[in-house]
Amino acid sequence: MDAPVPQNLSVEAGMLLAGNTALENDDSACETTATSPSPSETTYKPPLHQPYIWMLICEHADLSTCKQIRLVNRTADTPAAKQLFQEVFLMALPDCFEKLSYIASDAVVSKYVKKIVYMTDLLNPEYCDFAKWNQDAFRNEDVAKYRRYHDLFCMQQALLRGNSDISSLRSSMPLLKNLVSIDIISLGNLCQRFVHGPVPLAGRLFRETSISPTKSLLQFTISPDTAKPLEAYIRACSTKSTGIRNLTVDHCPWGFWQASRPSPQTYRPATFPRVRPLLGNAFLNLSSLTMTSYMGSMRIAKQGHTPIGELVTFLKAMPNLQHLSLKCLPLNRIYSNWSQAADTNLTGVFEELTWLKLKNLTLIQCFSERSAFVQFMERHSTTLSDLHLDQFTLTEKPAPLSIVKKSLFGVNYWGKYATWPALPETSWELAIRCLVRVLKLRNANLHNVDDQHLTRVSGSSIKARFISGETEANRWRFCGQLTRYLLSRGEGLHFPVYGRRQIAGCDCTICR
């Protein structure tokens, strides 16, 4: 006699439980049903087998609050392990790395791990001060809450200072034979991945401390300590024989790119020189890189104090790269007085790097010189199929002093030099006219791309941010025309939408 189904279970759960019991008790019933269907049935629906039922249970179960998971059914361990251990979530807490070591040491479970998701946010030290206050200022449960948070904070600091995370990763990564992806992301992007349920780790943190994760976790700062997760995974990947194929880095801090100067806060040695010799082994087989980074003041790309050399070295260690997505964040989120010097100049990247297998390219919030950008696109024209540019600006090389002096006397020398276009505001037009002959793109999305003309039509360069509505509409039309012109390979479109300005006495093709 079958056990009765509990009343608090849903109908679907009761059906799964009943089906599971039937399959365990009488396997011949399924065979009889399959071989002798009733004559009135026009279609046959096979019964659910036990491994499939276990897979459904593991897929729909909420496991974010579980501290321990045991697989006791040897018949259904394969589908359960595939579903439960395909992604391993970590945070800078000792028990997380202890869990990773247990998974890596298990011969059955370790082969199913394909991705590691590391939440980079650190605990907020301000809540630790609450634990030192007088107990009369809080209720008893509040005192216990902040003291638990203080204990977690102390464990996290001991983990980072003792480099226990690096040692744990270096011992566990070689055992994960099928690991192909690593995501180093913050809580915000992690929440977007789990819109239909609780967020792993964050839910447990809230349960143990009763403090909201959005308040109790800190975002990245400029301290080199915040670069430790990326350093730990680079060191761990260098010990893995096959390396990894996909890497996602969310909000890579400014401290990671510091070349030689110690941090003014801690006076510790920089991070990048320590990982520079390991980049070749870590990223040899990397095919996809998605990075959002604070690149700092890189308006002049070849100055010594900018991290353009470190960025080139970092990207040069990926010879088999096929998908590149790079978003450069300004430092004005950290230093408010750096808002005018936060643009990222990627001219040095376009001049020095070439990937023989590059297929997808996404660049956000950066700019480059037109000649370097055109040469880079021409070198990758045979493999590049998808191009996405957002808030990407093209500029021109600085004019030689002799040309500047002659132009001050009213002489137009724009058309006599190959490094300058016919007019300064037509950088994108000339770039697309050069690339449309060689590029064979499948998808293109040029969004919010502009050139030097936008600052001129909006008035003075000081008020460049206050763009009129007509200019804004022309910019959207300009981006759309650029995309269509590029995909249609320059056929049947009037180009460009704006930028044709009548110059008195000029007889060039643009002003006619």
SS (H, E, C) 284-341: CCCCEEEEEEECCCECCCCCCCCCHHHHHHHHHCCCCCCEEEEEEECHHHCCHHHHHH
pLDDT-derived band at 320, boundaries 50, 70, 90: very high
Average pLDDT of span 165-180: 86
The yes-or-no verdict on residue 112 having pLDDT over 70 is yes
Angle in degrees, CA 241, 273, 172, rounded to 5: 30
Q: How buried is residue 340: exposed, middle or buried, by Cβ count under 10 Å (0-12/13-18/19+)?
A: exposed
**Closest C-alpha among 247, 252, 248, 250 to residue 221:** 252
Q: What is the mean pLDDT of residues 206-230?
A: 68
pLDDT at 56: 72
Record the tokens describing residue 157, joined without a space.
Answer: 């600091």
pLDDT score at 273: 80
Return the bridge partners of 394, or none. 368
- Count Cβ neighbours within 10 Å for each residue of 183-219 and write b for 16 or more, e otherwise: bbbbbebbeeeeeeebbbbbbbbbeebebebeebbee
Q: Which of 160-169, 186-195, 336-345, 375-384 has the lowest mean pLDDT?
A: 336-345
Q: Which residue has the higher pLDDT, 393 or 8?
A: 393
Which token pair is 178?
């099928």
Output the six-digit token pair for 140: 């008893």
| Range from 25-34, 93-102, 160-169, 321-330 carrying the lowest mean pLDDT | 25-34
> Could you tell me the pLDDT band of residue 502, with boundaries at 50, 70 and 90?
very low
Cβ density class 68-78: b for 16+ within 10 Å, e for less: eeebeeeebee
Q: Do 54 and 80 form a contact (C-beta atoms < 8 A)? A: yes
Q: 85 or 245, which is more confident?
A: 245
Residue 174: pLDDT over 70: yes
- For the entire predicted model, the pTM comes to 0.74
Question: By mean pLDDT, which of 81-95, 287-301, 454-468 is the weakest?
Answer: 454-468
Among the residue ranges 42-56, 74-88, 141-155, the one predicted with the least confidence is 42-56
The yes-or-no verdict on residue 275 having pLDDT over 80 is yes
| pLDDT band per the 50, 70, 90 thresholds, residue 66 | low
Q: Please, is 230 exposed, middle or buried when counting C-beta atoms within 10 Å of its C-beta (0-12, 13-18, 19+)?
A: buried
Q: For residue 489, what is the enclosing H or E element?
A: none
Question: What's the pLDDT score for residue 449?
Answer: 81
Of 44 and 259, more confident: 259
Q: State the Cα–Cα distance between residues 431 and 451, nearest whole angstrom.
A: 11
Most confident of 191-205, 206-220, 409-423: 206-220
475 or 179: which leads in pLDDT:
179
DSSP per residue over 170-207, as a string? Answer: HHHGGG-TT--EEEEE-HHHHHHHTTTSPPTTHHHHHH
pLDDT at 326: 94
pLDDT at 338: 38
User: Quick check: helix, strand or coil at residue 66?
Assistant: coil
Task: Say what the pLDDT of residue 36 is.
Answer: 43
Mean pLDDT of 401-423: 40
Contacts of 54 (CB under 8 A, 6+ apart): 73, 76, 79, 80
Average pLDDT over residues 351-356: 93
What is the model's pLDDT at position 74? 65
The confidence score (pLDDT) of residue 420 equals 39
Phi and psi (nearest 5°) for 270? -65, 160
Highest mean pLDDT among 329-333, 431-435, 495-499: 431-435
